[in-house]
Amino acid sequence: MPITNAYRALAATALVGLLAGCSGGSQLAPSGNLGAQSASHQVGVASKFSGTGRNAAIAKLNSDSRTAGSYGKPFLSAKSNLLAELNHKSIIASRQKFYPFKKTKPNSTLLFVNDEGTEDVYVYSTSTGEVVGTLSGVGFAGLATNSSGQLAIGTLDPSTGEGLINTYTVTSDGATSNGVTLSISSGFPDGITYDKKGDIYASDFPSSNVDFFSASTVSSGGGPTKTYTLPDFEYVYYVQAFGNTIYVDGDTADGFGVGELTKKGDKVLINGIVDPVEDAGFPGGLAIDSKHNIIVNNQYGSISTYAKPYTGGPSAITEWGFDPNDVTGIALDLLQENVYGVDINFGGSSLVGYPIPFSYPSLSEGTQWQSAGEEPISAATYLPGK
């Protein structure tokens, strides 16, 4: 399975040993980890991936020579757990299955959190910070909502190792499966976003590709309408649409960078709008406010805001305290009052996940909410009735 952001939270010592072919594992490793198995055995697991594209993506990741001296703990943990996660038993969404929510206060924003460790999607009420619903066994990757109440969840087909997106319709009462499945072209949807037309864009991890699904394909299901390759990126992680613009973050040859994707016919122009910086962090979540300010998390302890024309340093920044925390995905609410970050705390004997609100635009950190799950990696908000 392609890299998922949650595994960047595991202990570096165990990861370095695993990459060197050692047999030691980590007590913090999630269920299904192959930490005690050899690298040669992991290569055998990779054969579960079918198709030239997926095999090429895995080969590319395995050949990456970066070490703890470059991207450190998050990158190593992600890389070492890629093949292990092929054994994860993800569940494809049931047709027309309804997941009810507890009653919330009127006009209460819902926060969806996709958890890689449990493969569940947790639904929070932002007015209480408590879990009001759970979509069981349907996820662990990218996550997106739109203003029409559509919800897209990234998952994995357990029989083929194929990256998938399943869609749902959300109301204040619950989520109903649309019975529609979208197939990722060669990897896994680490990041997902809707544009204003109802199209979906998804990162095709671990590669520099972004899959595009037209609104008609989103309604009927199937493979991507087109796949765009972003040559300035080695890996694309999170994606976020605003208007006709698609923002992406990921690894470039020069470090962690953010780009702006513009389609021109069958070509894609990618503008580097936040200069990549070596060792500045590791690609985390993206959000865009109504003024096109970019909010980006680097997973190494900072959430920053960049204002147009995106030159120079951030206009706001907060330090949330990396190690033993790892804020991965972020989401801005509709009223633009809060940025919600989903955090993995790996300081204890087991992983614990929970959301943290950051007031916007100051990005001052609030109190963590009710814990749920183990390894949340993506977040999305929705305000029913709006």
Could you report how far apart the first and last alpha carbons of the chain are, in Å?
A: 36
- Dist CA 261 CA 274 (whole Å): 13
- 163-175 pLDDT tens trace: 899 999 999 999 9
Specify if 93 maps to a domain: no
**Regarding beta strands 352-359 and 235-242, do their DSSP bridges make them parallel or antiparallel, or are they unpaired?**
unpaired
Q: Which amino acid is at 175?
A: A
How many other CB atoms sit within 10 Å of the CB of residue 344?
28
Same domain? For 149 and 59 the reply is no
Amino acid identity, position 2 = P
Average pLDDT over residues 332-342: 94
Could you say which of 56, 87, 118 is where a domain stops?
A: 87
Q: Are residue 351 and residue 215 in the same domain, yes or no?
A: yes
Instruction: Output the CA–CA distances (angstroms, integers) from residue 149 to 87, 171, 281, 321, in the order listed.
Output: 32, 7, 33, 34
pTM of the model: 0.80
- Write the pLDDT tens digit of every residue in 240-282: 998 778 899 988 877 778 888 776 654 444 455 565 554 566 7
- The boundaries of the domain holding residue 170 are 98-382
Candidate from 44-48, 51-55, 98-102 with smallest mean pLDDT: 44-48
What's the DSSP call for residue 119? -
Give tens-digit pLDDT for 201-222.
Answer: 999 988 889 999 999 999 999 9
Task: Count Cα neighbours of 299 within 13 Å in the Cβ-side half-sphere.
Answer: 30
- Residue 364 has a CB neighbour count (10 Å cut-off) of 11
Kindly tell me if the per-residue pLDDT of 20 is higher than 80: no
* pLDDT score of 96 more than 90: no
Q: Answer whether residue 175 is part of any domain.
A: yes
Tokens representing 88 are 């994860």
| pLDDT of the residue at 126 | 94
Q: Which two tokens stand for residue 155?
A: 């998952």
Instruction: Say if 327 falls within a structural domain.
Output: yes
Sheet holding 235-242, edge to edge: 235-242, 245-252, 255-264, 267-277
